[in-house]
Amino acid sequence: MKKKTVEYGKYGYFFILPFFLVFFVFQLYPLIYTFYLSFVEYYQIKLGKFQGPNFNGLKNYIMVLATTEGKGSDLKVVSWFDTMTVKSIGNTLKIWVLNFIPQILLALLLASWFTDTVVKLKGQGAFKIMMFMPNIITASSIAVLFYSLFNANGPITMMLQNAHIISEKYDFMEKPGGTIGLIAFMQFWMWYGNSMIVLIAGILGISPSLYEAAMVDGANSKQQFFKITLPLLKPIIQYNLVTSAIGGLQMYDIPSLFNVDQSFNGKPNFASETITMWIKSLGFTSKDYGKAAASSIVLFIVTLVISIVFFAVTKDRQPKQKHAVIR
């Protein structure tokens, strides 16, 4: 038999090659290209005819972050931070906060119920299946379904009006609060089951001996939850917070098909326009690639800053809590 004197290590490169090749070509290069496009003037003048690409420095950024007057070298800033890019980032954050807070609180409550060893709930499997279900259903279908149920002629609007829960003239689609509230509700409704399952897994991963020791010391279930479960779940909750914030900033499917006009911009008066909807509107509909790219990079920076801030918050607090538990 031939003896093998092969250095196996180099095979590793072959195994990871497809992943990295695809990543560099189809994800990293487009990101760098977007960065480049954000510094050039490049838009459609009329069908099939484009201006640029010509380098124009930070002008795209000025135009997406400030209301401006004039063109080219005469570009003058009228007022800062009142553009659709800024407004749509604000809308997106508002919807995300409105959905995340109730979502994580309900998920925590349910996770603590489902793992309670004293009050054992029956039918947990079925509950989990039902509560998680909306998460997996095509979000586009959910958006159109809720629009059909809650528009001025929708059956649920009728029901709420007949029951005098909302006034007879109330139209969710005419009120910014109604529309944003429903979008946040849909997001909440789709995601609390997911967070709950993740938190249950987290709680089940906590060593039972901690609870036993606490019980011997006479801690009641409330104390156990706040002194053991919650501190030890913090990394998972914070991971959940960061991923939810990143995902939430890219929110598109639901708002883009919920309360929109014929060019798929968020009604009423752009109140439900999210940043990804606006980037699509700039890049795909208006074909102003330079501005669309600048908006994308602004979104990228906002995403980055938010995740770094949330991660920083995690790191600061962790050691203290671990200490408290050990003691």
Partner 1 sequence: MAKNAEVESSYSGRIRATKIFRTIICVLLCIISIFPFYLMIINSTLDSITIKAGVHLLPGSFAQLGENFTNLMKKAEGVGTSLWGAMLHSAIISVPATILTVYCSTLTAYGLTVYNFKLKNAAHTFIMAIMMIPAQVSIIGFMQFMMKINLYDSYWPLIIPAAASPATYYFMKQYMATGLSLEIIEAARIDGSGEFSTFNKIALPLMKPAMATQAIFAFITSWNNLYTPSMMLTDTAKKTLPMFIMALRSEQFRQDYGVIYLGLFLTVLPIFIVYFTLSKYIIAGVALGGVKE
Residue 47 binds partner 1, judged by CB under 8 A: no
For partner 1, which is the closer residue by CB, 25 or 77? Answer: 25
Residue 30 binds partner 1, judged by CB under 8 A: yes
Termini Cα distance of the chain = 62
Give the span between the Cα atoms of 61 and 74, in whole angstroms: 15
- Number of chain positions touching partner 1 (CB under 8 A): 106
For partner 1, which is the closer residue by CB, 128 or 227? Answer: 128
CA angle 50, 54, 59 (to 5 degrees): 105
Residue 148 binds partner 1, judged by CB under 8 A: yes
Residue 37 binds partner 1, judged by CB under 8 A: yes
Residue 250 binds partner 1, judged by CB under 8 A: yes
CB-based contact 216:309 (threshold 8 Å): no
For partner 1, which is the closer residue by CB, 7 or 74? Answer: 7
Residue 309 binds partner 1, judged by CB under 8 A: no
Give the span between the Cα atoms of 125 and 120, in whole angstroms: 13
Q: How far is the CB of 60 from partner 1 (least distance, A)?
A: 11
For partner 1, which is the closer residue by CB, 228 or 290? Answer: 290
Q: What is the 3-state secondary structure (H, E, C) of 77-116?
A: EEEECCCHHHHHHHHHHHHHHHHHHHHHHHHHHHHHHHCC
Give the span between the Cα atoms of 234 and 71, in whole angstroms: 51
Instruction: From 58-66, 82-90, 97-105, 146-154, give the range in contact with partner 1 by CB under 8 A.
Output: 146-154
Q: Estimate to the nearest angstrom the gap between the alpha carbon of 280 and the chain centroid.
A: 17
Instruction: From 87-95, 174-182, 206-214, 245-253, give the range in contact with partner 1 by CB under 8 A.
Output: 245-253
CA angle 266, 275, 90 (to 5 degrees): 90
Q: Estimate to the nearest angstrom the gap between the alpha carbon of 226 and the chain centroid.
A: 28
For partner 1, which is the closer residue by CB, 76 or 120? Answer: 120
Q: How far is the CB of 78 from partner 1 (least distance, A)?
A: 26
Residue 208 binds partner 1, judged by CB under 8 A: no
Give the span between the Cα atoms of 59 and 71, in whole angstroms: 10
Answer for which of 75, 252, 268, 270 binds partner 1 (CB under 8 A) is: 252
Residue 33 binds partner 1, judged by CB under 8 A: yes
CB-based contact 275:96 (threshold 8 Å): no
Residue 121 binds partner 1, judged by CB under 8 A: yes
Give buried/exposed letters for 92-116 (b at 16+ CB in 10 A, else e). bbbbbebbbeebbebbbebbbebbe
Instruction: From 56-64, 90-98, 212-220, 295-303, give the range in contact with partner 1 by CB under 8 A.
Output: 295-303
Residue 310 binds partner 1, judged by CB under 8 A: no
Longest dimension (CA), the chain: 88
* Range 173-192, binding partner 1 (CB under 8 A): 189
* Range 71-110, binding partner 1 (CB under 8 A): 110
Residue 62 binds partner 1, judged by CB under 8 A: no
Residue 64 binds partner 1, judged by CB under 8 A: no
